[in-house]
A and B are shown apart, each in its own frame.
Chain A
């Protein structure tokens, strides 16, 4: 899956490089038009492209597989008999999902940076606020965006973990998690449900533009982190309640 994720920025870079038509500003994904001038934007563009579907897809697969996958293989009972302890197993499994979130965004960012360096010129970056920052600083900003997206995915991971404790069929848990991420984004686009938007775990997913200002505005980062923490707390508590009392019959 990480390979597939790494392919995204490379595909973007290749497409832009090989296309003779210059990208029209304002069309296509965010920052796409800037890639030809500055390769550093490949990473950011790739992250933007991956956030709505590709990253939630992979995270849904990993998080949905956590408990249900072990149950399906019949290894869950042996892990518990080892004994690993149910709470410990749940925490380790969630930590694994978190590690995957980090690895996934880091992979996209790293592959993007690499593709950018290989195919395009590198130079100082103009921020949304009009300031210009050097290459080193802009790499830092890319990492910051990757971190923001990683945090964004933690709530979804917790949801996947929770669903995974309810079933012995990993595919079901994966699909349910991915469907939820799509549903949340659809609801987030319905103006009629504005009251609901701040509570949707995907509400801040694309809100990392603030990290491209000078000075960095941390408001959206904080709000996002708080929202994700809430999802982790609620889903974690429910998963704990379910898993510690569950009869393991798989």
Chain B
């Protein structure tokens, strides 16, 4: 997978909101993050994918200076981390590994307290900003309720509100739709889109592929502490390209025709099915016409689009067990 930075040789390097080189984080002897090179372009909605335990949250913790790296370089918003932590963090809104709030305070009071912990948050606009953030995540009516009485989804929304207390250049959202109902999930999607439309970069970790497919422009895939793929969503999807399946008793002849058209023929699962990979610039009907013209008895023909899920599983493996 080509990195975005190298996508346009000769032109200026693309401005990156998050950039790491050989980032390593070890716990004891185990490498939770094993030399990853993240490249998150500014203005992107970057989906950070990976199975449970693949190092997503650890990476986020290191990026935000909560944990220290054992090796590698990190630049966030163009500044060295963790040296410039104090100047970077005010520009970053974050939701890390679920919300954390004081159960004995109301939602609004929790946000007020967190905002007053930040020296950069102006106290004059504090109440207004808190109310706006609460309205934005649909918690306006529950602002005065104690967080103890909140449902998981409401706490998650409050966490999102906290990330948006001030205009941010970068939002790091770790599993933002955890515990949300379908409406909440939709709202988060539109929220992320509106944030991106406002010029912010959004870094979303998730294991919900459908969600990532719907809202992300770029994707990175983690597996067992390594970044196994990274790039624009379309590029990643097309790497597991669409392919055609031809059901025919004339296997060999069909394979020859496919090869002549520039496809890569291969055996597909099932008897008498030929797969043709690399469906680039060829219309499916042209393939059928060519097959028929060559006397191949076509009994079935279909174009299969690669889904992100297929690509994801092919990158991270089928196994259900948590790796590491």
Contacts and interface: CB of A to CB of B under 8 A. Distances in A.
Given A73-B101, A249-B61, A79 B117 contact: yes
Interface stretch (B90-98, B199-207, B235-243): B90-98
Contact of B66 (A73, A75, A81, A84): A81
A89 B119 CA distance: 12
Interface string A47-87: 00000000000000000000000000111111111111100
A73 B85 contact: no
Nearest to B99: A74
Interface in A143-202: none
A75 B162 contact: no
B198 interface: no
A247 B61 contact: yes
A82 B115 contact: yes
B284 interface: no
Contact of B114 (A78, A89, A245, A248): A78
B68 A82 contact: no
A244 B86 CA distance: 13
A82 B89 contact: yes
A73 B102 contact: yes
Contact of B162 (A73, A76, A78, A245): A78
A247 B100 contact: no
Interface in B131-172: 162
A245 B99 CA distance: 23
B100 A248 contact: no
A169 B96 CA distance: 20
B61 A73 contact: no
Interface string B89-130: 110101011111111000000000011011101000000000
B89 A248 contact: no
B64 A81 contact: yes
Contacts of B96: 77-78, 81
Nearest to B25: A247
Nearest to A83: B89
Interface string B259-288: 000000000000000000000000000000
Contacts of B103: 73
Contacts of B209: none
A83 B100 contact: no
Nearest to B85: A83
B66 A248 contact: yes
Contacts of A82: 89, 114-115, 117-118, 121
B67 interface: yes
Determine the main DSSP class of B at the interface with A.
loop
B155 to A, nearest CB: 10
Given A73-B101, A74-B98, A74-B100, A247 B117 contact: no
Nearest to A89: B117
Contacts of B65: 80
A79 B98 CA distance: 14
A75 B100 contact: yes
B68 A245 contact: yes
Given A247-B61, A248-B67, A249-B61, A81 B101 contact: no
A81 B168 CA distance: 13
A247 B101 contact: no
Contacts of B90: 83
B100 A78 contact: yes
A85 B86 contact: yes
A47 to B, nearest CB: 30
Interface in B26-85: 61, 64-68, 85
A80 B66 contact: yes
A249 B68 CA distance: 11
B73 to A, nearest CB: 18
Interface of A: 73-85, 89, 245, 247-249
Given A83-B85, A85-B119, 16 more contacts: A77-B61, A77-B96, A78-B96, A78-B100, A78-B162, A79-B114, A80-B66, A81-B64, A81-B89, A82-B114, A82-B117, A82-B118, A84-B117, A84-B118, A84-B119, A249-B67
24 contacts: A73-B100, A74-B97, A74-B100, A75-B114, A77-B61, A77-B97, A78-B96, A78-B100, A78-B162, A79-B117, A81-B89, A81-B96, A83-B89, A83-B90, A84-B117, A85-B86, A89-B117, A245-B68, A247-B61, A247-B67, A248-B66, A248-B67, A249-B61, A249-B66
